[in-house]
Structure 1
């Protein structure tokens, strides 16, 4: 009968996740025992580096990455870069070793107390399986959770004596949707508002780049003859910075940001929160008379936005659809910076 470890490796192989980042310790040894020849282990010298490398790997490949950490101390060492991965919306499966189940009640050395709480609130899902046989299915759920929008890290705490246990069967390997299109009626409403605008501005965020939507963003900027800003503190470059429409990154404070957008009656924000401020410089969130339209695939971003009407959609699909719906303007393009 196949073991939990063998069944889990079979699942990871089927999901295309054959690279593991980590800095191993004793609680990870049972998982790494008999490491498959077709897998690659990327050995970091510190857990923070392991998480950072996995984050960069996932962003570069466009696929989820797996990073394996050492129980509570190793997870704690990686937390700073896990926070970064959360803000990057990087699909990561973070697994960590846990002490032997038979001793957890005693809280022995290297037991992770309240392990599923350790990474909160910077993961989409955190779980320690109730029994060894649930580990493979937990990885399947972790993969599905990490890769569906809004993408982000997930965490699994895995007792070290679980890996040699007999598996209860392999979980079904499933595919999940990673993008969703905008509601057609809501999209047409947004397009009509933008078309009626006297002087629109585009503000783009990292999700535009995650969607591979630079061409659609450039096409929309040209069609509207609109200046383009990057939203404050962008985690990725959302627009070519040498393009004549590009105006730079908006200020990180409430009052200065509104001042930078002065003169625009419609602000279309795509793929970014509204907005990621840092120093508290009070003021109005928008210039007087301006309205904001917000397109994102993250419902939490729309819920906490202080202003604006929202449209939930993959930013790339929404941008491409807006290009099709909006007529070309007769406004002159913005003057180069």
Structure 2
């Protein structure tokens, strides 16, 4: 068989095989149950947080508006990858069609890119709240908040629309086995038989641009915030400001660290096992941790949760 026929036969397939997490596990059933529990925790935690913020008027301010958007992104992120992974494991299926793979890739890029910019908007919001408290209602009015959130979603979708079609139009003439649990760009690119070095360079530059602007905004915002906190006379004020900002910084470090590893480190630092572990961190664990970080460390949210639980208990008593 000549090379042309071999390429034609392999590119004729329209589906891929997702090797996933379970093929590397000694106890796939236990791992499946753990991931399912984590998935339910992420869905319930983020949904409850969104409902709390929506129902409690004391939480109707810019910071919590951004948190609802972050929770919505986390729900979308984990829902794009985990349900299919679990269903495939239960049904004993590994295939994913090219259109499904492209859609999964597009949604992950869009939501991930949007979250990168949203975290920058949240840092700017904290900067205005702490450094310019008297001007906060004007500088962060509802229109500005909507503009920041809309811009985050728009820039994230640009990332998805730009990278997905290029990645999926490369010829795939090697093995159709994607050593990952979802269609992530670097994992899919490894299957291409054409020279992808130029595209990888352009993708690297795109990621630098997408991360450079938010990182600049975040680092500048928190530099001014730390300086302002240091100058505060009130110990209680310093404690409250630091607690709010530390929660956001934890989320930023978790998410940006994983993104930098996946899209900006040279290929020599990567292998399928490490890539999957990092991807598990930001697609499965981060959506679980975010509502815990923002709720357990936030007195307003815990107060709203207690109020909601009291209402539920009163309703149950009245029904009885």
TM-score range normalised by the length of the shorter chain = under 0.3
Which structure is richer in relative contact order (CA contacts within 8 A, separation 6 or more)? 2
TM-score when scaled to structure 2?
0.25
* Structure with greater helix percent: 2
